[in-house]
Structure 1
Amino acid sequence: MARVQARMQPERWSTDPRLTPKGGLTGGEAMRIAAGSAALRKIPDGSAEQVNQALFGEPVRVFERETDKDGSEWAYVQLGLDRYVGWMRMASLAPAGAAPTHRVRVLRSFIYERADMKSRPSRAVSMNARMALGETLGNFVEVKGTGWIFARHIAPLDDPEMDFVGVAQKFVGSPYLWGGRESAGIDCSGLVQVSLQATGIYPLRDSDMQEQTLGIDFKPAPDFSDMERGDLVFWRGHVGIMCSPTMLLHSSARDMHCEIEPLGQAVDRIRPISGEVRSVRRFG
């Protein structure tokens, strides 16, 4: 399908507390995610709500540091790709280093200590994880400062996928996780975001933000008979992707995984919880 475009409307979100550093903080220290993934939490507490998740190699800016009662150091950060703010463990971060050139193109891969599939993996990395590369050795390529990854599991950042729906379908069966952005756990708006990011489009994080900034408003027929593949369907607090004119792909908090089901069935089931479909957004 055709590449899609996002209308970010930055002025609309310039004061949203989810995207605005507290107290007018500016500047900060440029760092990157060094763990396979890192939870972004509302407060510096490992038991606090995960509001978002950052993936290996993604940029962050660190504004403040704080040590909790257990001696763990936390950082107050803003994510570089979607501007979300919150707290994450300092142990998940590293200096910014070389600019990334490649991304993980498969759902999951490993970074190994050596260019050998039998060597110990240092971490799992997920689709859209970013990395700067070094030398190539056999079927492996060096991830600078970290280890080695199977070469066919990565692609240049400037060679994006062309079909975000096809990307999203790869996540079918992945478990639902509030705030998640990877196949080990992903939520409804995370699925939309990650799938579009693989095509080189960088949407905002939450479903209400996506509803206001992606595609154009489309008024469907009462029976949804004019839906198209790639349409985004929004309810209050939920979003799904049409993977055909009749079938909806979404990360479902009811069934706790990514699934495909008839749109009409989803509409009837979701109605008592979140009401009617609030909007449909279509990409031109």
Structure 2
Amino acid sequence: MSARDPRLTPARPDLAAESLRGEIPAPRYAAPRRMVVRAYAASVRRAPRRDAPLDTEALHGEAVDVYDMDDEGWAWGQLLVDGYVGYLPADDLIAAEAAPTHRVVAPRTFIYPVPDIKAPPLGALPLAASVTGVAAAAGAEAMAKSAVAGAAAARFVRLAQGNTQGNAQEGGYVYAAHLALQTAQAGGDHASVAEKLVGAPYLWGGRSSLGLDCSALVQLSLLTVGKTCPRDSDMQAAEVGAALPAEALEALTRGDLVFWRGHVGMMLDQRTLVHANGHHMQVAIEPLAAAIARIADAGGGPVTALRAVS
């Protein structure tokens, strides 16, 4: 994907990133200010308006390099996870501090004030969100005050301050089985991640189980098993995994990606596809042959590319 792709280039008519000085002319340049998302997911819009198109979302804990903040409450910046550029609500961002230690591997999980599943949650986290945990010993006092003792408390990861959505001074606890270490070696069945999201509603530009689009389903599935992935389907068709010849359509395997113009799905086996789509308006499983015929009948054209993801 070209570095000049406007989706991935922090430049606009009045301002550009300092790193682009000498490459892209602009009246002024700005150095980035590193911030992170504190909301469940922050909308990334094409313009600084609530009714502007939703291009993507930045998930809780993801880092954003901010180049400008206006008086109307909008931040303009670039997501580190995939390079996407756009406008985010400034209130959804906080200054970056400690590096994240864990990522969420469940479709959704809650942040609790104490390590007790009966406590009213402080907030929620989406799949692939990042959080910063602290050593269990640092939470000993809080655990002692909790209604849940030793063994039960050990089932949770205590979060550093600044992880909750509403109060940047609070920490909280997340069920440990819903998290994986950021340092964990890449690997795992990305198709099983996609299966967990079956039934999640379709949302153009969405990137969470509350609503997501076709390329977000692929991206989240790969990120969850520790693999990088660009945001949009055309980028994925050019960059993810290895290209397969057209004749491989008859011999696809689990995890392979199938592309149409503006659409992507993931194979669960040789004949079955899972994809977020506007026909079902959710993440759905259907026979590949049925999807090919339906998309062609709707004017979406034939399959344009096949990719194997190792």
Same fold (TM over 0.5): yes
Query: How many angstroms apart in 2 are the aligned matches of 1:193 and 1:33?
Result: 18
More strand by share: 1
After TM superposition, the structure 1 = structure 2 runs for residues 10-25 of structure 1, keeping only pairs within 5 Å, are 12-23=1-12, 24-25=16-17
After TM superposition, the structure 1 = structure 2 runs for residues 1-284 of structure 1, keeping only pairs within 5 Å, are 12-23=1-12, 24-26=16-18, 27-68=31-72, 73-136=73-136, 137=143, 138=153, 139-145=155-161, 146-159=171-184, 160-221=186-247, 224-271=249-296, 272-284=298-310
Structure having the higher Rg: 2
Query: How many angstroms apart in 1 are the aligned matches of 2:187 and 2:281?
Result: 27
Query: How many angstroms apart in 2 are the aligned matches of 1:211 and 1:225?
Result: 19
Query: How many angstroms apart in 2 are the aligned matches of 1:48 and 1:207?
Result: 21
Identity %: 40
Secondary structure of 2:219's counterpart equals helix
> Partner letter of residue 254 of structure 1?
H
C-alpha contact (below 8 Å) 1:220/1:227 kept by paired residues: no
Query: How many angstroms apart in 2 are the aligned matches of 1:105 and 1:282?
Result: 22
> Partner letter of residue 88 of structure 1?
L
**Would you say how many aligned residue pairs link Structure 1 and Structure 2?**
268
User: Which moved further from structure 2: 22-31 or 249-258?
Assistant: 22-31
Query: How many angstroms apart in 1 are the aligned matches of 2:211 and 2:305?
Result: 26
User: Which moved further from structure 2: 142-151 or 54-63?
Assistant: 142-151
Query: How many angstroms apart in 2 are the aligned matches of 1:240 and 1:134?
Result: 38
How many angstroms does 1:125 deviate by?
0.4
C-alpha contact (below 8 Å) 2:104/2:224 kept by paired residues: no
Query: How many angstroms apart in 1 are the aligned matches of 2:40 and 2:121?
Result: 11
In the other structure, the counterpart of 2:25 is none
How many angstroms does 1:220 deviate by?
3.2
Q: TM-score, normalised by structure 2?
A: 0.83
Q: Which has the higher contact order (CA 8 A, sep 6+)?
A: 1
More helix by share: 2
How many angstroms does 1:161 deviate by?
4.9
> Partner letter of residue 255 of structure 1?
H
Secondary structure of 2:52's counterpart equals coil
How many angstroms does 1:114 deviate by?
2.7
How many angstroms does 1:67 deviate by?
2.8
How many angstroms does 1:85 deviate by?
0.4
> Partner letter of residue 180 of structure 1?
G
Q: What root-mean-square deviation, in Å, do the aligned CA atoms of Structure 1 and Structure 2 show? A: 1.5
Secondary structure of 1:18's counterpart equals helix
> Partner letter of residue 83 of structure 2?
R
